[in-house]
Amino acid sequence: MTRRKKNEGGGRIGIMVSLAARNVKRHWVRSILASIGIIIGVIAIASLGMLGNSIGLLFTGFWADVGDALLITPHVAVSSGDPGDPRNILPTTLSERDIIEIEKAAGLGNRVIPMVRSTGELRFGNRVGYAMLIAVPGDDIPYLLDTEAGGYPRGAHPQIMIGTFLAEEYGIKAGNRVELDGTRARVAGIVAERGWGVDINPDYAVIVTQEWYERQYGTGAFNQVVIKVSDVEDIPAIKRSIDARLNRRKETVDILDSQEILEIFEQTMGAIQVLLLGIGAVSLFVASVSILNVMIISVTERTQEIGVLRSIGTHRNDVLLLFLIEAAVLGVVGSIIGGLLSSVVGWLISVQVATAFDELFGISAAFSILDLSILGYILFGMGFGIVASIVAGLYPAWKAARLDPIEALRYE
């Protein structure tokens, strides 16, 4: 008995779907136009989602993911607040006393790495030019940098490391001999690409050991100190401790927290994403208004037909369902076509943006378009399209279901 009822139910839905499909086909021009709206809307929302995703990936590639570092530099009188603003990077130094205080504040278990930022003239073959020179105590280098080729320089030996873009430009390989400010040195290794980092930016630089630097240049005043914390939770406490030790009477150091910067970055990315999806949703909203419109017109036109259906015993709910299915058919067809097209459009937009970024910021876009999240955006767009269409069909369907059979039959 139950089984039969269920079958009847299935058959009823089947009949309704074919009825709805027939109605959609009968007025094919308006159906196609309404679906085009949904198609464009789904493309807009999915492509903009993908675009936001690509922008995020581009920036992530540009940023070294350092979430566990504090950067301590001599206090700058006034700064713009942007950690990468070149106008606020000054070649000033920290005193020995400052470094000792910082070490005390950092506590045990957190690595304190003082660094020298300077400039050296690099000569290799017939190429010569100035490069950023970063001196780091030999033991600390492996904690900061990964190698792309070769190994790390040790102690006071005349060994250096070269940043990936510098090595690429000059064609330097691990094991080569170069001249740095007139002194011959062996390239121990090439530093792997790192992107923009809070702590150290080796991509265009020469890295030497602090020991060798001191022997070579006689001085070793540090420009900055990086603290690598073993537990990210400790960052606020260390910050407070440094502030208390060094900035009590007078501000002597600025403290930059990589965690904070990552958060700001994520916030910015999130805002861009919301903005783009919001803009995409607006088009889809307009498209659903279009469906609402077409469905209302349909209900008005077919008032008499509804009257006939009701008088031969069709239930209110069935009339409601019939119109909802019609709206859903428009939405499903539009969304599927839109989803298919958006994989193409989204890819084109992302490539366009990657090219623009490359031209502008010199970031090589190494992201893959076959990211799973892209499929996610397409499915999201399609889902949004279908739901918006069904929601748009609700009011007309409800209106149709509420019609009084007698009145409806009399309607012209």
Partner 1 sequence: MLFVNIAVRNLRRHWIRSMLSIIGIVIGVFAIASLGIMGNSINLLVANVITDVGDTLVITPHVAVSTDIAGDPRSIVEASLSPETVSRIERVSGGNEVIPVLQGTAELTLGDEGGDVRVIGMHVDDIPILLTIAEGQMLRQNRPGVLVGSFLANEFDIRAGSRIELDGEGVRVAGVLEERGFAADINPDFGIVVSDGYYGDRFGDSDAYAMVIIKVRDIGQIDAVKEAVDDQLNRREDTVDIFDSRDMLAMYEDFYDQITVFLLAIGGVSLIIAAINILNVMYISVTERTHEIGILRSIGTLRSEILRTFIYEAAVLGIAGSFVGGLFSAVGGYAISVYAIQAFTAGTTFGENITVFDATSVAYVVFAVSFGVGISILSGFYPAWIASKLTPIEALRHD
Task: Considering only residues 319 through 378, tell me which ones interact with partner 1, judged by CB under 8 A.
Answer: 356, 359-362
Residue 314 or 343 with smaller CB distance to partner 1: 343
Residue 18 or 267 with smaller CB distance to partner 1: 267
Q: Which position among 122, 135, 325, 333 is part of the footprint of partner 1 (CB under 8 A)?
A: 122
Q: Which stretch binds partner 1 (CB under 8 A): 138-146, 228-236, 246-254, 312-320?
A: 246-254
Q: Which stretch binds partner 1 (CB under 8 A): 118-126, 305-313, 315-323, 330-338?
A: 118-126
Identify the sign of the CA torsion 363, 366, 369, 375.
Answer: negative
Give yes or no for residue 78 binding partner 1 (CB under 8 A): yes
SS3 of residue 157 by DSSP: coil
Q: Which position among 21, 76, 99, 256 is part of the footprint of partner 1 (CB under 8 A)?
A: 76
Evaluate whether 256 touches 225 at the Cβ level (below 8 Å).
no
Q: Give, in order, the Cα–Cα distances in Å from 101 to each of 244, 375, 398.
A: 10, 52, 74
Burial label for 86, CB within 10 Å (0-12, 13-18, 19+), is exposed
Nearest to residue 102, comparing CAs of 244, 232, 230?
244
Give yes or no for residue 90 binding partner 1 (CB under 8 A): yes
Give yes or no for residue 292 binding partner 1 (CB under 8 A): yes
- Mention every residue, 6+ apart, whose C-beta is less than 8 A from residue 133: 116, 117, 118, 119, 120, 180, 205, 206, 208, 213
Give yes or no for residue 86 binding partner 1 (CB under 8 A): yes
Distance CA 199, CA 72 (A): 9
Write phi, then psi, for 166 (nearest 5 degrees).
Answer: -65, -45
Distance CA 396, CA 401 (A): 9
Residue 205 or 325 with smaller CB distance to partner 1: 205
Residue 110 or 342 with smaller CB distance to partner 1: 342
Distance CA 294, CA 16 (A): 19
Touching partner 1, residues 170-229 (CB under 8 A)? 170, 196, 201, 203-205
Give yes or no for residue 60 binding partner 1 (CB under 8 A): no
Give yes or no for residue 119 binding partner 1 (CB under 8 A): yes
Q: Which stretch binds partner 1 (CB under 8 A): 85-93, 96-104, 306-314, 334-342?
A: 85-93
Quote the least distance from Cβ 268 to partner 1, whole Å: 6
Give yes or no for residue 24 binding partner 1 (CB under 8 A): no
Give yes or no for residue 77 binding partner 1 (CB under 8 A): yes
Total interface residues for partner 1 by CB under 8 A: 79
Evaluate whether 379 touches 50 at the Cβ level (below 8 Å).
no
Q: Which stretch binds partner 1 (CB under 8 A): 72-80, 209-217, 227-235, 402-410?
A: 72-80
